[in-house]
Amino acid sequence: MRVGIGYDVHPLVEGRPLVLGGVRVPFERGLSGHSDADVVVHAIIDALLGAASLGDIGTHFSPLDPQYEGISSIILLQRVSDMLSNQGFKVENIDATIIAEQPRLADFIDEMCHNISNALGVARDRVSVKASTSASLSFLGRGEGIAAHAVALVEERSL
């Protein structure tokens, strides 16, 4: 068994949709970034790549590469899942936390878990996504951005 930790943060800006866990969340601002800026999926990708010692999200999906402009992070997660499988790894579970003062995310968590589990080809009960706030502290507490932390457990299997 191998464990990886991921983290991502993006600023909130006008004129972009807010996408978290592959779900378009109704909100007046979205996250700035080259892809869809889905912080929770980006943190999960980094956790998975870290567990398998395969670098980080920027190594595989450079923000300088035009092919990734506006791409769904769920597609990137599917590609990472394929990479892991090709390297002899199986995803055991994911645990992620989104840190945002607003919007309230409780109604979207189940759909996020569904999207992530489908992208990884794992059972829904292997994916946990939670939402928390930063208690009005820092740039997150002022509503200037959204962050996410993730932990991934992968198992090496013989090819």
Q: pLDDT digits over 14-69, tens only?
A: 999 999 999 999 999 999 999 999 999 999 999 999 999 999 999 999 989 999 99
* pLDDT beyond 70 at 159: no
HSE-CB at 72 with a 13 A cutoff on CA atoms is 11
Q: pLDDT digits over 64-84, tens only?
A: 999 999 999 999 999 999 999
The answer to whether 68 touches 35, Cβ cutoff 8 Å, is yes
Domains along the chain?
A: 2-89+103-156 (3.30.1330.50)
Maximal CA-CA distance, the chain: 48
pTM of the model: 0.96
User: What is the predicted pLDDT for the residue at 157?
Assistant: 85
| Average pLDDT of span 136-154 | 94
Greater confidence (139 vs 3) lies with 3
Q: What is the DSSP string of 19-36?
A: EETTEEE--S-EE-SSS-
Q: At what angle do helices 73-86 and 39-51 cross, to 10 degrees?
A: 10
